[in-house]
Amino acid sequence: MTFSCEICGTEIEGRAEYIAVDRSKLRVCKACVRYGTVVVVEAAQPKAKVETILSVGGEQAQLAKLAKSKKRLYEQMDYEIEEGMEIVENYGRLIKEAREKAGLKQAELAQKINEKHSLLRKIEHEEILPTDDVQRKIERILKISL
């Protein structure tokens, strides 16, 4: 039987981890353990343990509480993701305009920042977000702030 992570939905390979978030308990993958406090469960019968907890206070109330905890978690995750990739909304257009102003072709700029032409094209089309590293290089070469 396979479980999926109750935070990110990934199928958990091997042993599932259990964490406590606000008083709810979530079964999560190893990557999501950091979002809560790890709860130690006997490896032999994790399912029985979870059911015991769910039966306390009625399933409905427990589920509502769980939904609330998860919502808060997602908000926290969004926040963390945004922090890592701070970039203006119209970055693609800004890069394209600055590049053209500098008289550079896509391939030429790609070469200057040491990245693939296809990567730069996707960034200009805003199909992907540049990594912090690529973003910094583009900003430096084109003298713009994204």
**Under the rule (CB under 5 A), what is the footprint of Zn ion?**
5, 7-8, 10, 29, 32
Please, which residue, 19 or 32, has the CB nearer to Zn ion?
32
Please, which residue, 35 or 91, has the CB nearer to Zn ion?
35
User: Which of 96-126 are b and which e, b meaning 16 or more Cβ less than 10 Å from the residue's Cβ?
Assistant: bebbeeeebebeebbebbebeeebbbebbee
Please, which residue, 50 or 146, has the CB nearer to Zn ion?
50
The burial class, CB within 10 Å (0-12 / 13-18 / 19+), for 33 is: middle
Least distance CB 28 / Zn ion (angstroms): 5
Please, which residue, 74 or 127, has the CB nearer to Zn ion?
74
Least distance CB 56 / Zn ion (angstroms): 25
Q: Give CA–CA dist 139/146, Å, rounded.
A: 7
Least distance CB 7 / Zn ion (angstroms): 5
Least distance CB 46 / Zn ion (angstroms): 16
The distance from CA 121 to its chain's CA centroid, rounded to whole angstroms, is: 23
Q: Give CA–CA dist 53/136, Å, rounded.
A: 49
